[in-house]
């Protein structure tokens, strides 16, 4: 395996990094305070081909690999992990439609999703079923020529913002095999939203509960086979975990770069902080840990692209290791800034707040350990 970047991959990374620096970074603090992401900026991301990164070109996607995707999300996260993660979730939804949807569904939704003219949200988690996702209670029953959808989804990125909601719901008995997936457009009768959540981080992302009260959904809006929804959701999460890890990695790299710059400029006891060996050793460890995390992430992406039998295990390992490592590095970068790190103006405290949730979402890191152990012992 060779994880050095090809010329094309370097160009993809540079494109994403340049866009992030010019169009996201200058506005990240303002978007966080407003609690929303401008639609126009998302359309600019779509114009770069980042609205359907690994969607087939036939329906407007870029047809790129998972290895390409982690480069894009790492680069975007240098500017704002919250915005990058929002783009990641949208891409996960677009991939589900491209992979499991009918030709009609693909031609109806994917061109607009890939161009980011429309935004999609992933709806799995419920107030009573977080890590135990297969215990979800949202139901969909067939009445005449439509489904009647009832239930509530929680912690939904894009709730009351997105145009399309990919909803995992119970169409059969208990357990994972009773779950199907519906594609529900915003504005559907019986759909409503809770208040926007007030969060520690990811504040630029509008997040809310999504409520379904006898919500009518056409039968043709079922994604793929009946009873296969949980399997689809888990397959989507393999890639989603890599993306979220990449977003954490990019944020941590930004924090480390800021710390190095601060140490060169800040003086104490008559010398630059960068001249103190204890601090040099700390930065050396931070750099080593990020490089190890990056290598594992690239390996996991390579395995997912290759449909390796152990891809899910490596995706879980990468998600666990990269997000834990990235948070620790970002937190250490804040410490190296001293009191300045606690100030908004320096941008590091935002990274720490944003990266904390990466250890929770797309499956908590405790659940990642469970997945890894099952692959080892089964």
How far is the C-alpha of 13 from the C-alpha of 8, rounded, in Å? 9
How far is the C-alpha of 113 from the C-alpha of 164, rounded, in Å? 9
Q: What angle do CA 297, 133, 328 make, to 5 degrees?
A: 35
Q: Which two tokens stand for residue 196?
A: 């926007």
Q: Which residues pair with 150 in a beta bridge?
A: 139
| Annotation says 362 is catalytic | yes
Q: Which helix (H) or strand (E) holds 62?
A: none
Nearest to 86, CA basis, from 205, 210, 237, 199: 205
- Cα–chain center distance at 96: 14
Q: Do 217 and 186 meet the contact criterion of CB atoms below 8 Å apart?
A: no
Q: Which two tokens stand for residue 318?
A: 């990468």
Phi and psi torsions of 365, nearest 5°? -70, -20
Q: What angle do CA 316, 180, 146 make, to 5 degrees?
A: 155
| CA-to-CA separations, 242 to 28, 178, 272, in angstroms, rounded | 23, 27, 37
Q: Could you say which of 8, 32, 362, 366 is catalytic?
A: 362
How far is the C-alpha of 300 from the C-alpha of 3, rounded, in Å? 11
Q: What is the DSSP letter of 188?
A: -
Residues in the chain: 378
Please give the positions annotated as active site. 362
């Amino acid at each position: 395996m060779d994880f050095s970047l090809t010329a094309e991959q370097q160009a993809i990374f540079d494109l994403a990094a340049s866009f992030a620096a010019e169009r996201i970074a200058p506005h990240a603090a303002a978007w966080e305070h407003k609690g929303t992401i401008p639609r126009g900026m998302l359309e600019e991301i779509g114009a770069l081909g980042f609205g359907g990164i690994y969607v087939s070109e036939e329906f407007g996607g870029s047809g790129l690999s998972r290895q390409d995707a982690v480069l894009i999300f790492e680069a975007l996260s240098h500017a704002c992990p919250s915005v990058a993660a929002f783009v990641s979730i949208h891409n996960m939804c677009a991939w589900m439609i491209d992979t499991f949807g009918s030709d009609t569904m693909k031609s109806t939704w994917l061109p607009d999703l890939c161009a980011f003219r429309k935004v999609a949200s992933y709806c799995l988690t419920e107030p009573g079923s977080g890590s135990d996702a297969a215990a979800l209670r949202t139901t969909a029953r067939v009445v005449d020529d439509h489904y009647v959808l009832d239930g509530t989804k929680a912690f939904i990125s894009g709730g009351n913002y997105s145009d399309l909601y990919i909803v995992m719901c119970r169409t059969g008995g208990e357990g994972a095999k009773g779950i199907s997936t519906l594609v529900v457009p915003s504005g559907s009768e019986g759909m409503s939203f809770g208040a926007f959540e007030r969060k520690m981080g990811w504040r630029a992302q509008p997040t809310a509960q999504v409520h379904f009260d006898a919500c009518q959904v056409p039968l043709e809006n079922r994604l793929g086979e009946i009873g296969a929804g949980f399997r689809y959701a888990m397959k989507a999460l393999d890639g989603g975990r890599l993306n979220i890890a990449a977003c954490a990695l990019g944020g941590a790299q930004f924090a480390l770069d800021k710390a190095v710059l601060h140490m060169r400029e800040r003086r104490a006891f008559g010398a630059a902080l960068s001249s103190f060996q204890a601090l040099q050793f700390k930065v050396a460890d931070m750099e080593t840990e990020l490089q190890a995390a990056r290598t594992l992430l690239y390996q996991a992406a390579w395995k997912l692209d290759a449909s390796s039998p152990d891809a899910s295990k490596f995706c879980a390992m990468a998600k666990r290791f990269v997000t834990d490592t990235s948070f620790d590095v970002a937190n250490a970068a804040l410490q190296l800034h001293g009191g300045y790190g606690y100030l908004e103006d320096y941008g590091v405290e935002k990274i720490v707040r944003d990266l904390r949730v990466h250890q929770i979402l797309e499956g908590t890191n405790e659940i990642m350990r469970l997945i890894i152990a099952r692959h080892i012992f089964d």
